[in-house]
Amino acid sequence: MDVSGRMEIIRELCSFERRLAGTDAERRAANRMAERLSATGHRTEVEPTYVHPQYGLVHAAHCLLGFAGSLVSIALAPLGFFLVLLAATSMYLDLNYRLYIIRSLFFRRGSQNVLSRGRHPHRKQKLILCAHLDAARTGTVFAASRARRLASLERRLGVALGPFRILFWSLALLLPILGARMAGVESDLLSLLQLPPTLVLLVGVFALVDIELSSVVPGANDNASGVATALSLAEELEDEPTESLDVWVLLTGAEECQQEGMRAFFRAHRDQFDPESTTFLCLDAVGRGDVRYELTAGWVISYDLDRRLAELAEAIAASGREGPRHLNAAPLRHGVAADSLPPRLRGYRALAITCLDEDGHAPDRHLATDVPEKLDEAALERAHAFALALIRALDRDLSRAPGTPARPARRDRVPAPAASPGPH
């Protein structure tokens, strides 16, 4: 599939307007992509599930509970401490895919994942190409100027930041302060230390409610571009098969409410895949900017993605820097997460590929301006070429005879992306 075919898929997905998790538009988009996969002869299933799409209200409740606990602690320190502890515990478990406490109080909606099985079930090694179908809501917090300032702050501090990290650690910082109040410590310094995290939580309440009241974006880059690239890669790997990989395609719903679709996939298939022989390669927002491959990700704390995949990606990035057509690929450590994190936390090999601009953020992410006309065909080609080279390198790596020690990642030449007229 050439880049024009990928653009056709992107435009088709964006024609399903307001494809928010749990909506009829998301369902129709999933069914259409399932039809496309079935037309190629793949065994394809649409797997229904239930999700909680209103993540903004869920975390606004966490922030409100923490804010209330901070205020109550002035008069009733034990009660205030309990409220903040409940909010912090619920938020931590929620954002690390462990257990829903506050989220379980909110209503559920029907969503679905599209799963296309590979044509080589006899092969032990499975590669699952992942991309999410749903689109996100916008909000004031996603303004381009704010995204650039956060990316700039990350570069200066040398740490991965993210909005939910800021909110969770504000809750966590309150706990020792309120613990001191419970112990009978009262001072102006304690009150001064308590004020900043309390204000952060208050701002978080308004920002998260604003998201829930905002419109749904077209989602051309995030993530129709990932879906189109996953389908294109599957087609190319069908024409030129790998030696050892059984290639599946998984198009998840409800990723924008913090990977609920991927969580549902594991609930449905928890015993089907062997972590030692299954790799998840996620494609997310690959339509603008330069290629980035994840080294770490996480909503609250940073988790390492698969080390071997990272080594292979680095070798490919190095060869791309030396070749005549530069991929400009580089590693990424960020304070958010994509569909690669749930499988990684369950012990699977997983990695995500995305594209970022020179300021370190995805252009027009969660904005109404994320439309097909603004995508860069050259970026789509670079991401496709990088992902294909990574798959080929993984295939060679896994094709070694059992018991053979791992070889250093080879700096293979990357296929040059096809010439492109540039941005639309």
The crossing angle, in degrees rounded to 10, of helices 24-39 and 3-14 is 150
Residue 329: inside a domain: yes
pLDDT, tens digit (0-9, with 9 covering 90-100), for 152-181 = 777 787 788 889 999 999 999 999 999 999
DSSP secondary structure of 35-97:
HHHHHTT--EEEEEEEE---HHHHHHHHHHHHHHHHHHTTT-HHHHHHHHHHHHHHHHHHHTT
8 Å CB contact between 414 and 386: yes
Asked if 228 and 116 sit in the same domain, the reply is: yes
113 and 253 fall within a common domain: yes
Question: What pLDDT, on a 0 to 100 scale, did the predictor assign at position 421?
Answer: 41
Q: Does residue 422 lie in a domain region?
A: no
What CATH number is associated with residue 239?
3.40.630.10
User: Are 363 and 344 found together in one domain?
Assistant: yes
Ordered DSSP codes for 241-296: --SSEEEEEEEES--TTTSHHHHHHHHHSTTT--GGGEEEEEE-S-SSSEEEEEEE
Domain that holds residue 333: 3-54+108-138+216-398
Q: Are residues 43 and 155 in the same domain?
A: no
Please give the pLDDT value at position 417: 54
Assessment of whether the complete model's pTM goes beyond 0.85: yes
Q: Say whether both 233 and 319 belong to one domain.
A: yes
**In-domain check, residue 420:** no
* 194, 212, 230 - which closes a domain: 212
According to DSSP, the β-strands at 330-333 and 245-252 are unpaired
1 CB burial (10 A radius; 0-12, 13-18, 19+): middle
CB atoms within 10 A of CB 211: 21
pLDDT at 201: 98
* pLDDT tens digits for range 370-405: 999 999 999 999 999 999 999 999 999 998 745 444
Q: Answer yes or no: do 329 and 344 share one domain.
A: yes
Instruction: Check residue 400 and give its pLDDT.
Output: 75
User: CA–CA separation, 57 vs 205, rounded Å?
Assistant: 8
293 and 178: one domain?
A: no
State residue 319's pLDDT score: 82
**Do 112 and 98 share a structural domain?**
no
Would you state the pLDDT for residue 157?
77
Question: Are 12 and 119 contained in the same domain?
Answer: yes
Phi, psi of 128 (to 5 degrees): -110, 110
258 and 291 in a common domain: yes
Residue 7 lies in a domain: yes
Q: DSSP readout, 116-134? A: E--S-TT-SEEEEEEEE--
**Does 417 fall in a domain?**
no
| Alpha-carbon span 42 to 330, nearest angstrom | 34
- Are 161 and 151 in contact by the 8 Å Cβ rule? The answer is no
Task: Clarify whether residues 226 and 203 are in a common domain.
Answer: no
Which of 212, 244, 270 terminates a domain? The answer is 212
> Residue 183 is encoded by which pair of tokens?
């112990």
pLDDT given at position 423: 38
Does 229 map to a domain?
A: yes
Instruction: Decide if 34 is inside a domain.
Output: yes
Does 382 share its domain with 311? yes
- Residue 270: the pLDDT is 80
Instruction: Give a yes or no: residue 116 inside a domain.
Output: yes
Give the list of residues 6+ apart from residue 254 with CB closer than 8 angstroms, or none: 21, 22, 26, 49, 51, 53, 111, 132, 134, 260, 261, 264
pLDDT computed for residue 413 by the predictor: 46
What pLDDT, on the 0 to 100 scale, is given for residue 368? 96
Q: What confidence score (pLDDT) does residue 419 get?
A: 44
CA distance 373 to 81: 51
Number of domains in the chain: 2
Task: Per residue of the chain (424 residues), give pLDDT as tens.
Answer: 899 999 999 999 999 999 999 999 999 999 999 999 999 888 899 999 999 999 999 999 999 999 999 999 999 999 999 999 999 999 999 999 999 999 999 999 999 999 999 999 999 999 999 999 999 999 999 988 887 887 777 778 778 888 999 999 999 999 999 999 999 998 899 999 999 999 999 999 999 999 999 999 999 999 999 999 999 999 999 989 999 999 999 999 999 999 999 999 999 998 889 999 999 999 999 999 999 999 999 999 999 999 999 999 999 998 866 554 567 899 999 899 999 999 999 999 999 999 998 878 888 999 999 999 999 999 999 999 999 999 999 999 998 745 444 444 444 445 555 444 443 3
The last residue of a domain, from among 157, 182, 212? 212
